[in-house]
């Protein structure tokens, strides 16, 4: 029977929780004070801890701090009537997996308890997931603990509170939109709208009216007045996705609106004051396009006040496991397959792959894996069959045997390095070659 420890200074809450835990066939150990609970935990292991935050003498936060010295892993769920965002964030930093506001909903609590208990089942995953906890709530859905992603998080926190324009660059699928949303969520504008506009998806002549709105009769088909995205985003954030695709004539108009903070709907000479923060994104190299005249330099400087560059996934392979596990859980739940797990070998395989489509490609792959999954754990063979180029050499018409062999060799070495965290000696062992041979091959392939 799994054992759950609960701490709450209120006798009635303890009673209710104990009844609930019993109903879930769980053994409960209830304590009135954090001191008593810690005393117990010094000698015993439990599978889950439920704690109140506001308690006399030692409060919930201090309790968690001391608990973490005894047990780094046990999932903690915080129950509190004083669940302000700050204390919740602080609790999350100390490794709380979740929190619930009192008076709590019994069903919600039950789900939460079940979910938290599952956490200790998958120890590998637990480790990866916990790395995600140490950050503000708006980062919650951005997974990544690599040093380039830490830098990104820091930049987001710095720029979010300001009104500065932000340009987010990076290859396709690196998470540009996710970052744009996080900036909005962490900004003082978060109560107002985040309005995304994809400059590629909209036919050129419609883009202007999308941006600034139009009045009735402005052009054929304009049957009524229509508000543009600028007005919709008033007080909030306008996200200009793929800004590099906007045609130059429209760029001039956009520049004027940004400079003056005033929009003129198409077909009218009304001037509407707007207060909009601009976040834009592009996968193109706008600097060089400015030099070649494809993008207005003055607009570029307006948009590029603050730059966030998202690194490709292949440059932050240590993020692959956390992302894979997160997506797998998400799709596992969605498809009613419960919590799906990935074994270490499958993870190593994923880490060694090229990810030209970056996080999006990984996400799609995990979705397919979840669809095809039979049991609780995705077998390595399934992952292998889903990864292009790892099952068989690519049929690219190349019949030069030495080239094909070299290609397989290079990829295998990359995978071995990824699987051993770049430890050359271990990688050589895994590959079944000597370390010196490995070094010479690394040199040969420029790795």
Ligand X SMILES: Nc1ncnc2c1ncn2[C@@H]1O[C@H](COP(=O)(O)OP(=O)(O)OP(=O)(O)O)[C@@H](O)[C@H]1O
**What is the C-alpha to C-alpha distance for residues 157 and 139, in angstroms, rounded to an integer?**
10
236 lies in the binding site for ligand X (CB under 6 A): no
62 lies in the binding site for Mg ion (CB under 5 A): no
State in angstroms the smallest separation of the CB of 402 from ligand X: 36
**What is the C-alpha to C-alpha distance for residues 376 and 332, in angstroms, rounded to an integer?**
9
142 lies in the binding site for ligand X (CB under 6 A): yes
- Could you tell which of Mg ion, ligand X, none binds residue 173, using a CB distance below 5 to 8 A set by kind? ligand X
Tokens of 147: 């040093």
State in angstroms the smallest separation of the CB of 286 from Mg ion: 15
177 lies in the binding site for Mg ion (CB under 5 A): yes
3-state SS assignment for residue 85: helix
Q: Are 372 and 335 in contact (CB under 8 A)?
A: no
Contact code string over 261-300 relative to ligand X, x by CB under 6 A: ----------------------x-----------------
Contact code string over 312-351 relative to ligand X, x by CB under 6 A: -----------x----------------------------
Q: Which residue has the tokens 């060694």?
A: 352
420 lies in the binding site for ligand X (CB under 6 A): no
Contact code string over 143-182 relative to ligand X, x by CB under 6 A: xx-------------------------x-xxxxxxx----
Length of the chain: 447
380 lies in the binding site for Mg ion (CB under 5 A): no
β-pair type (3-7, 272-273): unpaired
244 lies in the binding site for ligand X (CB under 6 A): no
- Could you tell which of Mg ion, ligand X, none binds residue 317, using a CB distance below 5 to 8 A set by kind? none
**What is the C-alpha to C-alpha distance for residues 415 and 409, in angstroms, rounded to an integer?**
10
- Could you tell which of ligand X, Mg ion, none binds residue 284, using a CB distance below 5 to 8 A set by kind? none
Long-range contact pairs involving 145-153 (C-beta distance under 8 Å, separation at least 24):
145/318, 145/319, 145/322, 146/316, 146/317, 146/318, 146/319, 147/316, 148/311, 148/315, 148/316, 149/311, 149/316, 149/319, 152/179, 152/308, 152/310, 152/311
State in angstroms the smallest separation of the CB of 218 from ligand X: 30
Q: Which residue is nearest to Mg ion (CB)?
A: 177
State in angstroms the smallest separation of the CB of 121 from ligand X: 23
- CA within 13 Å, CB half, 25: 1
**What is the C-alpha to C-alpha distance for residues 394 and 127, in angstroms, rounded to an integer?**
35
3-state SS assignment for residue 60: helix
Part in contact with Mg ion (CB under 5 A); list of ranges 140-148, 170-178, 373-381, 407-415? 170-178
135 lies in the binding site for ligand X (CB under 6 A): no
Complex with ligand X: residue 9 or 177, whichever CB lies closer: 177
Residue ranges binding Mg ion (CB under 5 A):
177
Residue ranges binding ligand X (CB under 6 A):
141-144, 170, 172-178, 283, 323, 359-360, 363
């Amino acid at each position: 029977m799994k054992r759950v420890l609960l701490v709450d200074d209120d006798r009635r809450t303890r009673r209710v929780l104990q009844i609930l835990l019993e109903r879930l066939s769980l053994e409960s150990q209830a304590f009135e004070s954090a001191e008593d609970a810690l005393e117990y935990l010094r000698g015993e292991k439990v599978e889950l801890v439920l704690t109140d935050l506001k308690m006399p003498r030692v409060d919930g936060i201090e309790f968690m701090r001391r608990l973490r010295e005894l047990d780094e892993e046990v999932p903690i769920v915080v129950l509190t009537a004083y669940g302000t965002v700050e204390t919740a964030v602080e609790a999350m930093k100390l490794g709380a997996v979740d929190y619930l506001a009192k008076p709590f909903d019994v069903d919600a609590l039950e789900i939460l308890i079940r979910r938290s208990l599952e956490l200790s089942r998958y120890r590998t995953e637990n480790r990866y997931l916990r790395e995600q906890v140490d950050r503000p709530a708006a980062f919650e859905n951005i997974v990544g603990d690599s040093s380039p992603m830490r830098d990104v998080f820091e930049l987001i926190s710095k720029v979010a509170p300001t009104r500065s324009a932000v340009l987010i660059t990076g290859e396709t699928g690196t998470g540009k939109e996710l970052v744009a949303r996080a900036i909005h969520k962490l900004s003082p504008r978060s109560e107002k709208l985040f309005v995304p506009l994809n400059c590629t998806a909209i036919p050129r002549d419609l883009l202007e009216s999308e941006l600034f709105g139009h009045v009735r009769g402005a052009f054929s088909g304009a049957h009524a007045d229509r508000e543009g995205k600028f007005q919709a985003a008033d007080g909030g954030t306008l996200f200009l996705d793929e800004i590099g695709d906007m045609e130059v004539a429209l760029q001039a108009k956009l520049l004027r609106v940004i400079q003056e903070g005033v929009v003129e709907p198409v077909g009218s000479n009304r001037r509407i004051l707007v207060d909009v923060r601009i976040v834009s994104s592009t996968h193109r190299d706008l600097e060089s396009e400015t030099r070649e005249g494809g993008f207005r330099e003055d607009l570029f400087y307006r948009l590029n006040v603050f730059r966030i560059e998202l690194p490709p996934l292949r440059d932050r392979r240590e993020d692959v496991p956390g992302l894979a596990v997160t997506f797998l859980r998400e799709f596992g739940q969605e498809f009613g397959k419960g919590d799906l797990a990935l074994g270490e070998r499958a993870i190593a395989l994923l880490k060694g792959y090229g990810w030209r489509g970056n996080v999006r490609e990984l996400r799609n792959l995990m979705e397919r894996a979840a669809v095809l999954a039979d049991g609780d754990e995705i077998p390595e063979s399934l992952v292998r069959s889903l990864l292009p180029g790892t099952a068989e050499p690519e049929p690219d018409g190349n019949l030069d045997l030495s080239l094909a062999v070299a290609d397989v060799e290079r990829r295998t070495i990359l995978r071995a390095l990824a699987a051993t965290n770049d430890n050359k000696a271990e990688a050589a062992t895994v590959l079944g070659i000597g370390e010196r041979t490995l070094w010479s091959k690394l040199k040969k392939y420029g790795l």
